[in-house]
Amino acid sequence: MSDRGHAPGRSSLGAEKDGYRGRLVLVTGAAGFIGSHLVDALVERGARVRALDNLATGSKENLSHRMGEIEYMEGDIRTMETCRRACEGAFFVFHQAALGSVPRSFADPATTFGVNVAGTANVFAAARDAKVRRVIYASSSSVYGDSEKLPKREGEEGKPISPYALSKAMDEDLAAIFGRCYGMELIGLRYFNVYGPRQDPDGPYAAVIPRFFKAYFAGEAPVIYGDGEQSRDFTFVEDAVEANLLAAGALPAACGRAYNVAGGRRITVNELASLVREAVGGGPDPRHEAPRPGDVRHSLADLSLCARELAYAPAVELAEGIARSRRHYDEVSVSSHPRRVAPESASGG
Ligand code: NAD
């Protein structure tokens, strides 16, 4: 994990570099892709980490190297009592638990809403009762919905075009209400297609980059849904983690909003396939299948609000992020050790 400065002098809660030492923080969805990297960063900064997950899509393997250092709690955010126990004594809550993936939300909207909305309401209410100092929660670029404006700017959202997107938009409304009604400090982070080591390559809901790595390592043609000219703004997981740390330390005036968190550059899915193919050292041309419902055509974040209010700037270029991901997927040899059902889709971002 890179050690960036966390805007010394801007921080209000002592969350800069050493400010976590001895503090209890809760990470929900901690056994997942982003959550487990966040746990690493927080442990490295001296925090006492409570890690909550029900292993719906995450894996204990993602935390195995931390098990002696954290308080691991298996439980479901849909259960209020679990959320209460998880929030007890916590200074910060980093709420990552959710069911990702646009296609999954089309297949099973009720479960997506149950976890992403009712579960999030439980986490926020438990955080209120436990007097948690600040809640940072995962939103998504999917809240921009049918807006065709580029770049995507906070305040210029369209209508959601999938149950997943609506669940994340509802989380933002929930956060606004908890801020307004209870004076809580909450900050949302609208992740744009996060990728990197530990992102699950398996299952029907796997995200595009791990799917491409898996296919190319197996010598197979990766599947592209649609013509591949749809574009995405990819965010390396370390940058997403950094945004969480910056949000925890930001001035109170930064609370009550959701910010874009992205790599700040857009490439097409066809270009992405070429990049992954080169990284792996060659492979067949991609195979095209019908586009999937709920797929946003183009995505690119405007990062000026996040830069101004949170001092966020992406640090890991796509080429470097792809190289680091390649090393990971090479090590775990995705082709020979299939794992379990997966998280976010290419469109889910
Ligand atoms: P992930 O699936 O790897 O992580 C989510 C974690 O939440 C998993 O470990 C899962 O087991 C856990 N979880 C699910 N339901 C739960 C429940 N009911 N109770 C407790 N834990 C539960 O996905 P991720 O990519 O790490 O995503 C983390 C967050 O970021 C999610 O809120 C997701 O919607 C959001 N997000 C991710 C991306 C991305 O590109 N990866 C983009 C936008 C938003």
Q: Which tens digits make up the pLDDT trace of 269-278?
A: 999 999 999 9
Q: Residues of 111-127 as b/e, b for ≥16 C-beta within 10 angstroms?
A: ebbbbbbebbbbbbbbb
Residue 216, ligand 1, Cβ within 6 A: no
Length of the chain: 349
Task: Tell me the per-residue pLDDT of 25-55, one tens digit each, with 9 for 90 and over.
Answer: 999 999 999 999 999 999 999 999 999 999 9
Q: Could you report how far apart the first and last alpha carbons of the chain are, in Å?
A: 22
| Residue nearest ligand 1's atom 27 by CA | 34
Best mutation site among 64, 116, 120, 191 for ligand 1 pocket (most ligand atoms within 8 Å of CB) = 191
Does 8 score more than 70 pLDDT? no
d(CA 240, CA 233): 13
Q: How confident is the model at residue 335 (pLDDT cuts 50, 70, 90)?
A: very low
Which one of 20, 164, 216, 225 is the catalytic residue?
Answer: 164
Q: How confident is the model at residue 338 (pLDDT cuts 50, 70, 90)?
A: very low
Residue 97 C-alpha to ligand 1 middle, in angstroms? 5
Does 321 score more than 90 pLDDT? yes
Active site annotation includes 164 = yes
C-alpha closest to that of 323 among 280, 265, 266: 280
Task: Tell me the per-residue pLDDT of 220-271, one tens digit each, with 9 for 90 and over.
Answer: 999 999 999 999 999 999 999 999 999 999 999 999 999 999 999 999 999 9
Of the CA atoms within 13 Å of residue 299, those in its CB half-sphere come to: 30
Does 336 score more than 60 pLDDT? no
Q: How confident is the model at residue 334 (pLDDT cuts 50, 70, 90)?
A: low
| Residue nearest ligand 1's atom 33 by CA | 100
DSSP 165-225: HHHHHHHHHHHHHHHHHH---EEEEEE-SEE-TT----STT--HHHHHHHHHHTT-PPEEE
| Residue nearest ligand 1's atom 42 by CA | 349
Taking the whole predicted model, whether its pTM rises above 0.85 is answered as yes
| Residue nearest ligand 1's atom 29 by CA | 96
Residue 29 C-alpha to ligand 1 middle, in angstroms? 6
Residue 95 C-alpha to ligand 1 middle, in angstroms? 9
Residues contacting residue 310 through CB under 8 Å, at least 6 positions apart: 7, 243, 246, 247, 250, 254, 259
d(CA 342, CA 234): 18
Residue 162, ligand 1, Cβ within 6 A: no
Residue 300, ligand 1, Cβ within 6 A: no
Provide mean pLDDT across the span 86-92: 98
Determine the pLDDT at residue 314: 98
Residue 98 C-alpha to ligand 1 middle, in angstroms? 4
Domains of the chain: 24-194+236-261 (3.40.50.720), 196-232+264-299+316-331 (3.90.25.10)
Residue 49 C-alpha to ligand 1 middle, in angstroms? 18
| Residue nearest ligand 1's atom 44 by CA | 140
d(CA 72, CA 92): 16
Determine the pLDDT at residue 332: 80
Share of the chain above pLDDT 70, in %: 90
80, with CB counted inside 10 A (0-12, 13-18, 19+), is middle
d(CA 349, CA 300): 11
